[in-house]
């Protein structure tokens, strides 16, 4: 949630979810909810936080 009248508060999350959808969600076919949860956890904790370069 952004502060009233400040459009820049939401920019980091919009950027994250954009990359998240392109790099993981649209690229994979999940067979179950458990498989999706596992893939999301691995993406965030292993790839996004530790490996992916951040600007």
pLDDT at 33: 95
* pTM: predicted TM-score of the whole model, two decimal places: 0.68
Domain residue extents for the chain = 8-51
- Burial degree of 36 (CB within 10 A; 0-12, 13-18, 19+): middle
pLDDT at 37: 94
Query: What's the token pair of residue 42?
Result: 């691995």
Given a contact cutoff of 8 angstroms between Cβ atoms, the answer to whether 2 and 10 are in contact is yes
Q: Is 5 left (phi over 0), alpha (psi -120 to 50) or beta?
A: left
pLDDT along the chain (55 residues), means of 10: 69 86 90 94 87 73
Residues 55 and 10: their CA atoms lie apart, in Å, by 17
4 in helix, strand or coil?
Answer: coil
């Amino acid at each position: 949630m952004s502060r009233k009248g400040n459009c820049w508060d939401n920019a980091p999350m919009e950027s994250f979810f954009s990359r998240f959808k392109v790099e993981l969600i649209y690229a994979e076919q999940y067979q179950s909810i458990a498989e999706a949860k596992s893939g999301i956890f691995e993406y965030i904790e292993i790839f996004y936080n530790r490996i992916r370069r951040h600007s």
